[in-house]
Amino acid sequence: MEYFTLNNGYKMPMAGIGTFMITPADTEVAVESALRNGVRLIDTANAYMNESATGRGIRNSGVPREEIFLVSKLWPTVYEKETAVDEMLARLGTDYVDVLFLHQPTDNWREGYKNIEKAVREGKVRSIGLSNFSEEEVQEAIDTMYIKPQLVQVEAHPYYPQTELKKLLAKTGMGLMAWYPLGHGDRTLMQQPVFTELAARYGKSNAQIILRWHVQSGNVIFPGSRNPDHIRDNFDIFDFELTDEDMAKIAEVDNGTRYYNADPALLAQYKTMELGPDL
């Protein structure tokens, strides 16, 4: 495993498992299996409605909590709720999370950020993240918040490598967690000739080449899967290294394509969009 050092000194694994769009029952099994197979970064969220299942998977694995880098996200409906962090920790069955993100940049995000700052001071949160925030919003948090953010979590892949945002992050030592790291499973991206060529050369799959590109680009990845074999394959990327020439060829794939564009009307609704039960 390779690690990224956050700007507050904490080290996080550069590869983990995500739980987005995985049922609670499958989440519990996937988290336990991943941890038993050496994975140490787990990503969940209020909105995934599987924080409790994530906690059960952690406990079932037998892996000590201090060996696990646990990430979750607050949903906008609880940004201003004083007990939101405590309720999240209760669902997860832990005393702290390693990173807590604001999940969406709704207009009450500043109040949510201050609540997370309070949780940091109380030892309930170690690092602060911003999910789906624009460069301008990230810059505002850097400029105006007492505790500066450590991470952003955004869509990033070879078609859309977040070049401009990463210039800003480099100035502050912030890290990037990439969701849709494989381009939302887009076969056109996955089957680009450069990935097929490199996969043949290194004896890897196209997906493993893309995930290795992420790590060498400094991106933390957390592809979701319920399949133990896929989970193992996603982590079989630390026994080889792409050359500078390889990385330059992959850079040519960038065409500005992204798979998620925030709808301003939907974003406004997130403040009142209640979540279902966490099971």
CA distance 128 to 120: 8
CA distance 142 to 136: 10
Q: Exposed/middle/buried for 199, CB within 10 Å: 0-12, 13-18, 19+? A: middle
Amino acid at 198: L
CA distance 177 to 158: 14
Given the structure tokens 């060529």, which residue do they identify?
Answer: 197
Report the catalytic residues.
48
What is the CB neighbour count within 10 angstroms for residue 23? Answer: 16
CB 253 within 8 Å of CB 192? yes
Going by their DSSP bridges, the two strands 151-155 and 41-43 should be labelled as: unpaired
CB 278 within 8 Å of CB 54? no
